[in-house]
Structure 1
C-alpha cells in the first residue's frame, strides 16, 4: 500500500507539473497586466511572494483576478504534492511516524478537499467557498508544524504552504 501511494503521488506530481507547463510561446507582461498584478499583490500579506509567483507564471499575463487566484490554487496543489513526497521519504526513515502520518493526512486533505473546492468555487464564481478552502490549507499546514513541537523536518514546506495560502486568500478577497 505504501508503494502504491508513493507511485500515485509521483505520477500526480508529474501530471500536475506537465499541465502547468505552457504549450505556447511565453508572453511578455504588458504594462496593464503588470499594473493589475502589482495592485493585487500589494493587497496581500506577502507582496513579494505574490509577485514572484505571478511573474513566473505565463498565464498571469492575460489573467483577471479569478484566474490569478486559480494560479495560486495550482501552486498550493503542487506544493502539497511535494510535501507528501517528502513525508513519504521521511516515513521510511527514523522519526515520529505518528506525527508524519498526521501530516500526510493534512496534506492529503489539502489535495482532495481544499484544492478541488477552491478551484470549483472560483470557476463557478463563489469566492467565499474558495477563500474558506485556501484558509483551510494554511491551517492544515500549521497544524502539521505544531504537531512536531518545534522539531519539524517540514518547517520549510509548512511555512511556504501557510504563506502561499494566505496570499491566495487575500487575492480571492478581491472578489468578495
Structure 2
C-alpha cells in the first residue's frame, strides 16, 4: 500500500512537470510567432528599425493583431504631436523674431490639427474596421509635419520633431495599408 501511494504521488508529480514543460514550450512558440508578426509587419513599412523600436517598446504588442499594431502606432503619433507642441510652446516663449513667431504659430495649428482631427480619425476608423480613413489620418499627420518644416524656409528649430512625426505617421499609414 505504501509503495502504491509513492508511485501515485510520483506519477502525479511527473504529470505536472510534463504539463508545465508543454505549456511553457507552447508559450515560447506563441511568443515567437507574435514577434514574427511585428517583424513581418515592420518589413512592409518605410522604416523597419524604427517600426520595431516603437512596437517592441509597447507593452502587449506581441499579443495583438495588425490592427492592434496600427493602434499602437496611432498612439505614438499622438505622443509625437504632443512632444512637438511642447517644443513649439517653449520656443514661442524664448524666440522673439516676428517671422519665427508666425512659423511657430502655424506649426502649433498644424500639430493641434493632428491631435484634434487626424489621431481621432485614425483611432475611430481602426475601431470601426475602416482602414482607409485611418490611412488618411496618418497621411495627413505626415503632411502636417512636412508643411510645418517648410514654414521655416530651411531654418527650422523643429526639424527633429517634424522628422519624427513624419516617420511615425508614414509607418502607421503603411501598417494600416496592410488592412485594406
How is 1:80-95 mapped onto 2 (pairs within 5 angstroms)? 80-94=81-95, 95=97
User: Does 2:119 correspond to 1:118?
Assistant: no
Matched residue, 2:154: 150
User: Does 2:41 correspond to 1:55?
Assistant: no
* Structure (1/2) with the larger helix percentage: 2
The whole-number CA distance in structure 2 between the counterparts of 1:59 and 1:106 is 31
Structure 2 SS opposite 1:99: helix
- Kindly name which structure, 1 or 2, has the bigger radius of gyration based on alpha carbons: 2
Give the CA deviation at 1:59: 2.2
The whole-number CA distance in structure 1 between the counterparts of 2:60 and 2:158 is 29
Unaligned runs of 5+ residues in structure 2 are 1-26
| 1:95-137 alpha-carbon deviations (Å, 9 max, x no partner) | 4100000000000000000000000000000000000000000
| 1:15-61 alpha-carbon deviations (Å, 9 max, x no partner) | xxxxxxxxxxxx99810111100100000010001001111111211
The whole-number CA distance in structure 1 between the counterparts of 2:79 and 2:39 is 23
The whole-number CA distance in structure 2 between the counterparts of 1:59 and 1:151 is 40
Root-mean-square deviation (CA, aligned residues, Å) is: 1.4
Matched residue, 1:163: 167
Runs of 4+ in 1 over 6 A off after TM superposition: none
Taking structure 1 as the reference length, the TM-score comes to 0.83
Instruction: Count residues with an aligned counterpart.
Output: 150
Matched residue, 1:79: 80
The whole-number CA distance in structure 1 between the counterparts of 2:58 and 2:50 is 13
The whole-number CA distance in structure 2 between the counterparts of 1:34 and 1:70 is 16
Matched residue, 2:66: 65
Taking structure 2 as the reference length, the TM-score comes to 0.81
Give the CA deviation at 1:159: 0.3
